[in-house]
Structure 1
Amino acid sequence: MQANTRKPVFIVGCPRSGTTLLQQMLDAHPDIAIAPETHFMQLFWGRRDQYGNLAEDGNYRRLLENIIALPEFLEMELDAQEFSQSAWTIPRSYAAIFSLLLEQFASKRQVNVIGEKTPNHVLYIPKIQAFFPEARFIHLVRDPRAVVNSWRSVPWSSGSVVKDAEHWRFHISAAWRQPPQGTNKIFTVHYEQLVLSPEAHLRSLCTFMDLAFDPAMLDYHKKETKLVNVQREPWKGAAVKPVNQQSLTKWQRDLSPEEIAAIEGITWFEMNRLGYTAQTPVAKLFPLSTMIATKRKFEHLARSARSKMKKLVKS
């Protein structure tokens, strides 16, 4: 059995939106393997200037060594020597290396469909599609109030509900700003709907991936997995347990009315587009949204002015 690596599936979205849960569900299917977070686009392609010309052996070797050093590489149970040897026989491009990484994971798992789950790859959809023209994307979205509340448990939180709400807004809108080209290339899943009706939504996803539904996807938590390292990333612990519907309303207990209002004021447009209802009265929410929109406009103007000033200084 050999995976069709020309049509990989990428699970993307804002971090803490349930992408690990969905990864576990899909990976439980006997014909699917979803690789853990490689952060390939950010860590490697995004730093291509630091690696320099890959035609130079030293630069290429350093890139391969850094990929092999990823904790996720170990969790994918790939053979470092085999990967390195194969990498020296392919074109020296980021697309070829990313493809090789997925190919070897697919070969290890002996599946028909290969995928990868890095939430912030939502920011790189056009480039990923350039790497894999037939790629498909699953965009997982979640209530921003729940996401911001969940961010309190992770080490990369800004510590500010305002900044974290802006982060959610930036990631969510990325899939709208730069969607994949072509028909049936992206499938949007609401976390809440997945948790409330997992079978119905997993069946729809299987159709999207041209696969038959398998009940094993519902029993994902019974499957031993090395793709989620709870010791290294304890905030992912819930993803290896049965679905918990209490996660849908936890934000209502944890966030203060003022925090909720701040989040809703920042994300109101996106919330409305995605079908989420604001809790804050419109009379309070509209002035707040207007103030935030004005603030964003001035920040944009300030950035533009700084950019123009830098160009003038250089000229």
Structure 2
Amino acid sequence: MNPNFIFIGGIPRSGTSLIQKIVGLNEDVYAGPEFDHLPSIVKLYFQMLGNERQAEFYTDNGLTNSFRKFIESVLAEKLFEKQIKVKYISEKTPENILAFKGLEKIFPNAKFLIIIRDPRAVINSFQNVSLRAKRSGTSVKFGKNIIKDLSFMRYRIDLAEQISNENPDKCFILHYEDLLKDPESVISSICTFLDLKYTKNMLKTETKTNISNLMERFQGKDPWYNNEIYDRHIDLRSLNSWTNQLDWKTKKLTAWFFLKFKNRLLVQYDFNLSTMDKVRLLPAICLEVIKNPRYLKKIIAHVT
């Protein structure tokens, strides 16, 4: 019997890699590196699905089965070769959240884990990644335009809420902050959702894995992660590091952007601004309007 799939997604720098490592420390789960291509594969799947002009080549059911077999063969090839038996294969790429509808259709028994993190912490992490990329001579798309980054986050958080509302039995939402504050309780809940046996070993995130070995090959070249970041224990001290690292304007601009954002997944975060904060923030908001004409309607919507 082939293993079932866990698909982990969300916003980059929200804790998806940490969750992938945690579930991979369970002996019934194989968790590999990011595959990257599932959103593109799912996009092609939907382009082909229901295409009457192609009816001589395939049926919709046949197409779905073909895509299922293809994805299985790619993600599980090494396991089949080594005859490793597990209950789940876990694939973590933040963009998996964009492919949920297709993945759910192709793999109706799959489980989905979506991670939410305080947007201010994510913005802070984006900026750190951008700095590491600059030092290593590479480039990333985040950490350069805050309105673009915030809009990017808002779309995915909206999508996460929609997915969880429509598929409560298949989708588990967790918050990064809850994981750091009470890892044993959150990991136990994940195991219950996945019908896995919880073990203390899943708390030992400093354990080196197959992904750790892969990272060593790209040490100093990948601005997103390195072994020092990946192979460390769950550390509560990193919970609010953004409060000391972000400047006042960035903190308040992020809070302002999400102030009127009615999404149940963000209710635990305090985005309140004082009247004085709003007055002081006006020049920064005006500057962002000038810099970001593409996002003008969204910016105006927050002001009115």
* TM class, shorter-length: 0.7 to 0.9
Q: Name which of 233, 236, 242 aligns with 2:225.
A: 236
Aligned match of 2:34: 37
CA RMSD between the two structures: 3.4
The aligned counterpart of 2:154 is 169
Whole-Å Cα distance in 1 between the matches of residues 32 and 263 of structure 2? 30
C-alpha deviation, 1:246, in angstroms: 2.5
Question: For 2:106 and 2:75, how far apart are their aligned partners in 1?
Answer: 12
Unaligned ranges ≥5, structure 1? 54-89, 300-315
Letter in 2 for 1:295: K
**1:63-212 aligned within 5 A:** 93-107=66-80, 108=82, 109-152=84-127, 153-154=129-130, 155-179=140-164, 181-212=166-197
**Contact 1:11 / 1:138 at 8 angstroms: preserved in 2?**
yes
SS, match of residue 221 in structure 1: coil
Could you tell me which of 291, 295, 298 is aligned with 2:297? 295
Alpha carbons 1:24, 1:240 under 8 Å: kept: no
Amino acid in the other structure paired with 1:123: L
Rounded Cα–Cα distance in structure 2 between residues aligned with 1:118 and 1:31: 20
Look up the SS of the partner of 1:233 in the other structure.
Answer: coil
CA offset digits 1:44-78 (Å, max 9, x no partner): 44367999x9xxxxxxxxxxxxxxxxxxxxxxxxx
- Within 1, Cα distance between the matches of 2:231 and 2:176? 16
Q: Give the % identical residues.
A: 28
Tell me which stretches of 4 or more aligned residues in structure 1 moved more than 6 Å.
48-51, 290-294
**Superposed CA offset, 1:205-249 (max 9, x none):** 000000110111111322333365252534323122112223211
> How far off its partner does 1:285 sit?
5.1
- Structure 2's unaligned 5+ residue stretches are 52-62, 131-139, 290-294
Counterpart of 1:229 in 2: which secondary structure?
Answer: helix
1:257 aligns with 2:259: no
For 1:105 and 1:209, how far apart are their aligned partners in 2? 23
* Paired residues, number: 259
How does the TM-score come out when normalised to structure 1? 0.71
Find the residue that maps to 1:11 and give its secondary structure: strand
